[in-house]
Amino acid sequence: MKTSAIRNLRKKLAENIPVFGLWVTLESPTVTEMAVALGLDWVVIDAEHGHLDWKEIVEHLRATVRSETVALVRIAELNGGDIKRALDIGADGIVVPWVETAEQLKQAVAFSRYPTEGVRGIGAERATCWGQCFEEHTAEANEHVLVVPIIETVQGARQVPMMCQVDGVELFWFGPADFSSSAGYRGQWEGPGIAEQILKLKDTIHAAGKHCGVLATSIDNIHQRQAQGFRAIGVGTDTGLLLRSLRTSLASVGRDRTIRTSLVPDWTVPSLKLPPLSQPPETMRPDRPEVMTALGSVPKTDIARGVSFECLVGRHNQAKHLTTGIVTFAPGAMLPYHAHTFTESITLLNGALTVDVEGRSYQLTKLDNAVIPASLAHSARNSSFSEPAVVHIAMATDIPSRTLIERFFSKKAMPDDSTGVSGSERINRFATAKRGVAGPNTEFIDCFNEDLMPKLEMSGGYGLFEPGGRLPAHVHDFDESICIISGTATCVVEGRKYLMSDCSTALQPRGRVHYFINESNAPMEMIWVYAGPKPERIIVDERCATTEGNPWRWVPLAYVAAF
């Protein structure tokens, strides 16, 4: 037991100084040795999941000897034998999974302490210098041993106030994935409402004078967790950090892949499996240039009292069969019932929005998407009376119009997780939507297309680009709108480069060779919409997206005049 390291860790926590560490799952003690060399405050050696055996665990513990890095062992379950064994071979403390009651936590503390305060037996192992330091070790062990429970179930969350009263526990850990699973959102890191619950529990624990820890999922998330008040922050797992670094390196040479449970790398987009064309089909020769439009550069149109629309892609910049833009609702503002002769997509970017479709009332949260087919009566209102609501809208036409509907509809509040009505409107819940990839370091959601909603005229969805994320060079057989809703994107069109952010929107006409890449150090998000019923793209040789390889560099005079 490294009493000096434990005291230093406690001192930092008491002074509200964050302590950073690594979650260790690989068998090589070199991983822990690196963590020590880099001065991490702690490591957790994971004996709950994975394949580490006791011989490998003790080698990890040896790598922390005479260092200021606290070494904790996450045991498989609340078990007195496992706790005793972990502490006997030299762990500075234990991490206990799936703690759901104050009684369980008291039991964990008792298993970790020698009598008379606990029930831990005295062993002649590493902790007691193989029996040579019984008196010295047992005199200090009870005071210094760290017992860290993981709160990772709905049941456990309810017991947190009582757990905070248990003596001998000063640090609580959260397991968002299991917490989400116990709430019915299996497979999600933080399902709907879970992030908010964890932050409330964190406040309860802080109010009791204790500290909270959590594993970060990215560099940005490390800073976010620190700002939220977490003081023990895992920078990642050893495997997660290794994979992240590998994928970033592979992405730089266009070789990134996703991993399937079969451990066979694959793309989820079928078209990416086809070899790229040397150049686009001649029949796709474009007749217009790309157009980049910044938010605030186009006059706003008042479409109802307190509701304004800024058209970023439409007939004014020569778009065909497509209109997109940003609608802002003042607090409490409402767009009355109306219908279109074309499909409309509504994505909430900020604030609170209620969308009513023939009386069915849907509450949207951030990045939820509602798709309203042609001729379906609908309305929208800002459910907040203090904050504006901002939405991205798309319409399958370049001549938008609407018909006001005066008919009365009986109101029916739909469940918060409702995804719409089959054969009618579709509600895409961002938190639970199916994800795929469209290129290295990307995550995409298809919100609407002909396969999801028969007879639809357009398609579209959401895209997330981690640093280094990019798409291959490609063209479409229809116009496309891309709105950058967060972060900074680099858009490359036949060698011409554009930096885009803050809802700036690109119109990519049919046939233009282009791709997007995130060259920043932070994630980038976009809303993309195609003026075609299916999200189809034609991958072309990367050279086609360069100035010298531009397949359309010999253009007709009529096209030059269009500039």
Average pLDDT over the chain, rounded to an integer: 93
DSSP 534: S
Residue 271: φ, ψ to 5° = -65, -25
Closest CA to 428 of 406, 452, 407, 394: 452
519-546 average pLDDT score: 94
pLDDT confidence bin for 553, thresholds 50/70/90: confident
When pLDDT is averaged across residues 163-181 and rounded to a whole number, the result is 96
Cβ proximity of 288 and 531 under 8 Å: no
Do residue 230 and residue 83 come from a single domain?
A: yes
State phi, psi for 221 to the nearest 5 degrees: -70, -30
What counts of helices (H) and strands (E) characterise the chain? 13, 34
Split at pLDDT 50, 70, 90, the class of 205 is very high
> How many residues are listed for the chain in this entry?
563
**pLDDT higher than 90, residue 244:** no
Among 225, 247, 269, which residue terminates a domain? Answer: 247
Same domain, 102 and 167: yes
Q: 110: which 2 tokens? A: 């008792």
% of the chain with per-residue pLDDT over 70? 94
Mean pLDDT value of segment 146-157: 97
Distance of CA 5 to the CA centre of its chain: 34
Same domain flag for 404 and 514: yes
Over residues 2-54, the pLDDT tens digits come to: 999 999 999 999 999 999 999 999 999 999 999 999 999 999 999 999 899 99
Give the residue carrying structure tokens 């050893």: 238
Three-class secondary structure of residue 73 per DSSP: strand
pLDDT at 366 over 90: yes
Does residue 422 fall inside a structural domain?
yes
- The mean pLDDT value for 446-461 works out to 94
Angle at 321 between CA 315 and CA 322, to 5 degrees: 70
- Give the separation between CA 93 and CA 83, rounded to whole angstroms: 9
Is the four-CA dihedral 493, 498, 501, 505 of positive or negative sign?
negative
User: 49, 60, 340, 474: which is the annotated catalytic residue?
Assistant: 49
Up-side HSE of residue 541: CA atoms within 13 Å toward CB?
12
What is d(CA 137, CA 135) in angstroms, rounded to the nearest whole number? 6
- The answer, yes or no, to whether residue 262 has pLDDT greater than 70, is no
| Residue 252 placed within a domain | no
Q: Give yes or no: 378 in active site.
A: no
Question: What is the count of structural domains for the chain?
Answer: 2
Kindly indicate the confidence band of residue 146, based on its pLDDT and cuts at 50, 70 and 90: very high
Domain check: are 499 and 362 in the same one? yes
Say whether both 350 and 484 belong to one domain: yes
pLDDT for the residue numbered 562: 30
Peptide bond into 116 cis (omega under 30): yes
CA–CA dist 457, 190 (Å, integer):
34
With bands split at pLDDT 50, 70 and 90, how would you rate the model's confidence at 270? very low
Residue where one domain finishes, among candidates 220, 247, 274? 247
CATH of the domain at 21: 3.20.20.60
What range does the domain containing 444 cover? 282-562
Q: Answer with the one of 247, 272, 303 that is the final residue of a domain.
A: 247
- Taking residues 294-305, report their average pLDDT: 95
Is residue 273's pLDDT more than 70?
Answer: no
Using one digit for the tens of pLDDT, what is the confidence trace for 93-107?
999 999 999 999 999
Q: What is the pLDDT of residue 563?
A: 26
Average the pLDDT over 68-81 and give the result.
97
Q: How far is CA 85 from the centre of its chain?
A: 37
Q: Is residue 256 assigned to a domain?
A: no
Alpha helix (H) residue ranges in 118-232: 134-144, 154-158, 160-163, 176-182, 194-207, 219-228
**In what order do the strands lie in the sheet containing 480-486?**
291-293, 505-508, 480-486, 524-530, 459-465, 442-448
CATH number of the domain encompassing residue 502: 2.60.120.10
Q: Per residue in 272-291, is it b (16+ CB within 10 Å) or e — as a string?
A: beeebbebbeeebebebbbb
The residue with tokens 């993309």 is: 528
Do 225 and 311 share a domain, yes or no?
no
C-alpha span between 39 and 314 (Å, rounded): 55
Is position 15 within any domain? yes
Q: Tell whether 333 and 194 lie within a shared domain.
A: no
Judge if 299 and 192 occupy the same domain.
no
Tell me how many degrees the CA angle 519-261-447 measures, rounded to the nearest 5: 55
The pLDDT of 351-362, averaged and rounded, is: 97
d(CA 249, CA 440): 10
261 within domain boundaries: no
Q: What is the pLDDT of residue 257?
A: 66
Is the domain of 102 the same as that of 57? yes
Is 501 inside any structural domain? yes
Task: Tell me which amino acid residue 190 is.
Answer: E
Of the candidates 534, 436, 426, which has an alpha carbon nearest to the alpha carbon of residue 480?
Answer: 534
The mean-pLDDT minimum among 240-249, 380-389, 444-453 falls in 240-249
| Residue 266: predicted pLDDT | 47
Q: DSSP assignment, residue 453?
A: S
Together in a domain, 214 and 331: no
Write down the pLDDT at residue 247.
81
What CA–CA distance (Å, rounded) separates 327 from 309?
4
Could you tell me the pLDDT band of residue 505, with boundaries at 50, 70 and 90? very high
Quick one: 306 and 199 in the same domain? no
User: Cα angle vertex 226, ends 224, 230, to 5°?
Assistant: 115
Domain assignment present for 268: no
Residue 28 CA: distances (Å) to CA of 31, 39, 530: 6, 18, 49
Torsion of CA 217, 219, 223, 226, to 10 degrees: 50
DSSP letter at 4?
H
Which tens digit of pLDDT belongs to each residue from 420-440?
Answer: 998 899 999 999 999 988 888
Higher pLDDT, 260 or 209: 209
Do the Cβ atoms of 353 and 383 come closer than 8 Å? yes
Cα torsion 204, 209, 213, 219 to 10°: value is 90
- Asked if residue 477 has pLDDT above 80, the reply is yes
CA dist., res. 433 & res. 504, Å (int): 25
Same domain, 320 and 199: no
Q: Are 385 and 436 in contact (CB under 8 A)?
A: no
Query: Is the separation of the CB atoms in 446 and 461 below 8 Å?
Result: yes
Q: Which residue has the tokens 């008919």?
A: 407
Q: What pLDDT is attached to residue 185?
A: 86
pTM greater than the 0.75 cutoff: no
Q: Would you place residue 256 in the very low, low, confident or very high pLDDT band (cuts 50, 70, 90)?
A: low
Q: Is the pLDDT of residue 360 over 60?
A: yes
Residue 236, SS3?
strand
